[in-house]
Amino acid sequence: MKKKMLVVLAMLLVIPGLLFFASCGKQTVKADVGEVKDTLSDQDSLSSGTGTGSGSASDSSASDIASESLTDADSLKAGPSAQEKMAMEKSEAMQKLVNEDVHFDYDSAVLSQSAQEILKKKAAYLEKYSAILVTIEGHCDDRGTNEYNLALGEKRAQSARNFLINLGISSSRIKTISYGEEKPLDPANNEVAWAKNRRAHFILG
């Protein structure tokens, strides 16, 4: 009888202890599971870009760069502006005006047909760009005296000037000067060089 009572008392003491430990274990497990869920939730926020971390700023910077690149590409496709085109056209016209000489036959100031065609193109440039002033230089080859070639060079420059005036270009925009044989384009002493040197050359101003 005493043994049974001891066994019952022992069980009464042990059972509450077991229940206490079991309860603590469940709480610990619940706490661990909660921490895991919180961690996973933070990671999802970062990966989706909803947080305020560097990922969101990086995506924004990449978007800005892409937008700027597209804008630059559109600008290149659009080409030069109307003002830039006009400046390019004027530059090309001025180069043609000064780079293409009018040539003459030996001991002559008469304009050939090809010389007249060149002067017509120059007149078109001068008419389009009415603020441009030009000086026509008269040149000769080195045959003949200096005095004679200076006079012949002046005749050649005047011949080109008069042709332009007859085409409607104001005389106030065109000056002349003769260098005779003093400034040869080609210093060689042969027919090819002489033909190059018999010319009227245009300069701006």
What tokens were used for 21? Answer: 């430990």
**Backbone phi, psi, residue 184, to 5°:** -70, 140
Q: Is 177 helix (H, G, I), strand (E, B) or coil?
A: strand
pLDDT of 28 reads 44
pLDDT-derived band of residue 80, with 50, 70 and 90 as boundaries? Answer: confident
If residue 162 lies in a helix (H) or strand (E), which one and from where to where?
helix 146-166
**Residue 117 binned pLDDT confidence (cut-offs 50, 70, 90):** very high
3-state secondary structure of 100: coil
Token pair for 99:
């780079």
Find all residues with CB under 8 Å of 119, minimum gap 6, and list them.
102, 111, 160, 163, 164, 167
- Residue 134 parent element (H or E): strand 134-139
pLDDT given for residue 202 in this prediction = 97
Please report how the helices 146-166 and 113-128 are oriented relative to each other, as an axis angle in degrees rounded to 10: 60
Per residue in 129-172, pLDDT tens? 999 999 999 999 999 999 999 999 999 999 999 999 999 999 99
Task: Give the pLDDT score at 82.
Answer: 84
The model's pTM is 0.61
The pLDDT assigned to 87 comes to 82
> What is the predicted pLDDT for the residue at 42?
55
How does pLDDT run across 177-204, given as a tens digit for each residue?
A: 999 999 999 999 999 999 999 999 999 9
pLDDT tens track for 4-43: 555 555 565 655 555 444 454 445 434 444 554 454 455 5
Indicate the range of 22-26, 109-113, 119-123 predicted with least confidence: 22-26
